[in-house]
Chains A and B, each alone.
Chain A
């Protein structure tokens, strides 16, 4: 041993990132092994928010399970609900009997929810970098969306609006003008978001080239949604495997090449603009008519199973429902995009600076309610 080695001993340090930590977006916990401030190893620990929702579903009827969807990914309740009800409709074989108007309402709600979810991402990404002011800018528009949900569904975050066979109630008359108002303010708001964060040189320095994710790794880990599209995987279920009435809408799928934090951020902002386009078309084309198909009061799908997934704001969100012919699901499994997406963090964090790891984590945009279920 040289004198220097004898006098100066270096040691790796283990540090807990969560479950009580300002930037873990809930109760996620990762254990970092730090060399100085660089991460050499990262281990994810999940399960702090486990409520056994999959098991709960087995003791609830098919209809009674709908409100629990809002508790999965609690910033995109409408998307979860629409995935669930479409899965049950598929299982019952009534997917083609859903009234036109209900289909349009579902698209409107889903796209609004996608915008709201991405706004939470945008705002919390800014917050994770120490930009406190953008937080309210993002939540200002999100609140408008939630007001729309409140108007139509009766609740802001746990809407319980989708029903098997349609939607709970028709839109009330003040909804459409309010939606028009939102569609008018949204492009301006997006411009402001780009102005305050995207164009900011400090922001660019912190995101461009940070934590790149190659398309191969993304595929290996089963990454889907905006993160995969940022890595260059040009796949969007709304366009490539259209469900519902998504084949009627014209929109682009934003795809980027580098897969770094900046690309993951930009894909989501571009997606918001595309969602506004879809909303414009839905606003223009929505027909009058009933909002509920003829479904029996007690829903008893035939014995069998179905796996149905949709393009959620976080990725592919699916339900695997096994029915034994009774009014309760025999088994219900939730395919959660956040669960697969967070797995990449162990790989991604290696070699990152502690500061960059926080931003890379924020760019994954996970919601613990869905991971732990």
Chain B
């Protein structure tokens, strides 16, 4: 009969009217994000060997690292920068890291007020005079 479809639609909407709401009250109710979620990136500087594989893996060349040679002539990290403005959040850098130094976090609120804040420095270390024998930087 003409009109049954209309009534069915009405019955569906009224059922949902009294149902539990599905939306999340975001600032109060924090989302539970899975472990693999790529919200933002973080670095464990002790593990990093400054090999530069993450720099090579990045499709957009947003990672730049500065290195120096310490007293044992070992390459060490002095600065790790990520330009989040052009980050794809693909996670290739994390996949490429052989030491597991770079990892993703569930921190997803990446808004900043100024554009220069997007140029995120994950690690910075000022080498002392005798350490600073050789300086290299990889973009």
Do A158 and B8 touch across chains, with their CB atoms under 8 A apart? no
Check: B129 CB closer than 8 A to any chain A CB. no
Assess the B5–A204 pair: CB atoms within 8 A. yes
The answer on a CB contact under 8 Å between A64 and B9 is no
Q: In the complex the two chains form, what is the Cα distance from A280 to B25 in whole Å?
A: 33
CB-defined contacts of A140 to chain B, threshold 8 Å: 22
Interface residue A167 (Cβ < 8 Å from any Cβ of B): no
Cα A65 to Cα B60 with chains together (Å): 10
Stretch at the interface among B64-72, B84-92, B118-126: B84-92
Contact across chains for A155 and B9 when beta carbons are under 8 A apart: no
Contact between chains at B9 and A200 (CB < 8 Å): yes
- Contact present for B59 and A154 (CB under 8 Å): no
Shortest distance between the CB of B68 and any CB in chain A (Å): 28
Is the CB–CB distance between B37 and A65 below 8 Å? no
Chain B contact residues: helix, strand, loop or mixed = loop
Cβ–Cβ < 8 Å partners of B12 in chain A = 192, 195-196
> Which A137-190 residues sit within 8 Å CB-CB of chain B?
137, 140, 150-155, 158, 160, 168-169, 172, 174
Question: Are A65 and B59 touching (Cβ within 8 A)?
Answer: yes
A interface secondary structure, majority: helix
What is the 8 Å Cβ interface bit string for chain A, positions 115-150, against chain B (1 contact, 0 not)?
Answer: 000000000000000000100110010000000001
Q: What 0/1 readout, one digit per residue, does chain B (26-64) give for beta carbons within 8 Å of chain A?
A: 000000011111100000000000000000011100000
B137 interface hit (Cβ, 8 Å)? no
Contact B9 A154 (CB under 8 A): no
Q: Which residues of A contact B59 (CB under 8 A)?
A: 60, 64-65, 67-68
Measured between alpha carbons, how far is A140 from B22 in the docked complex, in Å?
Answer: 8
* Contact between chains at B91 and A196 (CB < 8 Å): no
- For B104, the chain A residues whose CB sits under 8 A away are 154
A202 within 8 A of B: yes
Set of chain B residues within 8 Å of A197, measured between Cβ atoms:
9
Name the distance in Å between A162's Cβ and chain B's nearest Cβ. 12
B112 at the interface (CB under 8 A from A): no
The reply to whether B92 and A195 contact each other, CB–CB distance below 8 Å, is no
Contact B92 A63 (CB under 8 A): yes
- Residues of chain A having any CB pair with chain B under 8 Å: 60, 63-68, 133, 136-137, 140, 150-155, 158, 160, 168-169, 172, 174, 192, 195-197, 199-204
Chain B contact residues, CB within 8 Å of chain A: 2-6, 8-9, 12-13, 16, 22, 33-38, 57-59, 88-92, 95, 104
20 additional A-B residue pairs with CB within 8 Å, beyond A68-B59, A154-B34, A155-B38: A60-B59, A64-B58, A65-B59, A66-B90, A67-B92, A68-B88, A150-B37, A154-B38, A155-B37, A158-B88, A158-B89, A160-B90, A172-B36, A192-B12, A195-B8, A195-B9, A196-B9, A196-B12, A199-B5, A199-B9
